[in-house]
Amino acid sequence: MNVSIGDFTVRDARLEDALSIAAYADNPRVAANLRDIFPHPYYLEDAEGFLRHMMQQEPATVFAIATAAEAVGIIGLTLGEDVHRFTAELGYWLGEPFWGRGVMTAAVRVVVEHGFSEFGLLRIYAEPYVGNAGSARVLEKAGFEYEGRMRANVFKNGCVLDQLLYSVVRERAL
């Protein structure tokens, strides 16, 4: 994938992205809104391992969000299996200097369209933590609908947190 979104691009990840990914990911405000599998502190070795793993996936489902100079975030889909084969979970993060500029909303729209057209998905969902108002706003601006609140759904940084459930549904083609 290589889709322009203003001054940014949603594109395939490259091993050369490791240095900038590590720099932007090593931020407690980024890590606070992601699953524990996302390490903090975040080292260059973490970025290199992640990128190597993602670059081996076929088909590619995880992409870099980049300026002309560097990767500044990651966005991707986790495809469902079995009875969930037409569903995917959306996940993303963006370097803090780029928050509040509409970059993630545009990237979400691109990846959602890609998921619907390339994978035949019918539903894409996301589950931001209840305190992550910015992510909820991104999803709403990108056309996702609020489906509900999952109470006491995660344990993050020593706290039990609620999660919000958002989704976007493609008209059935089956």
Quote the number of domains for the chain.
1
141, part of any domain: yes
**Average pLDDT of span 18-47:** 97
120, part of any domain: yes
Residue span of the structural domain in which 156 resides: 2-169
Residue 19 has pLDDT above 60, yes or no: yes
User: Longest C-alpha distance within the chain, in Å?
Assistant: 45
Q: What are phi and psi of 14, to 5 degrees?
A: -130, 150
Residues 6 or more apart whose CB falls under 8 angstroms from that of 85 comprise: 79
- C-alpha–C-alpha distance, residues 91 and 28, integer Å: 17
Whole-number pLDDT of residue 171: 74
pTM: 0.94
Mean pLDDT, the chain, as a whole number?
96
Residue 174 has pLDDT above 70, yes or no: no
174, part of any domain: no
63, part of any domain: yes
37, part of any domain: yes
Whole-number pLDDT of residue 30: 97
The per-residue pLDDT for range 137-167, each reduced to its tens digit, is 999 999 999 999 999 999 999 999 999 999 9
Residue 74 has pLDDT above 60, yes or no: yes
CATH number at 137 reads 3.40.630.30
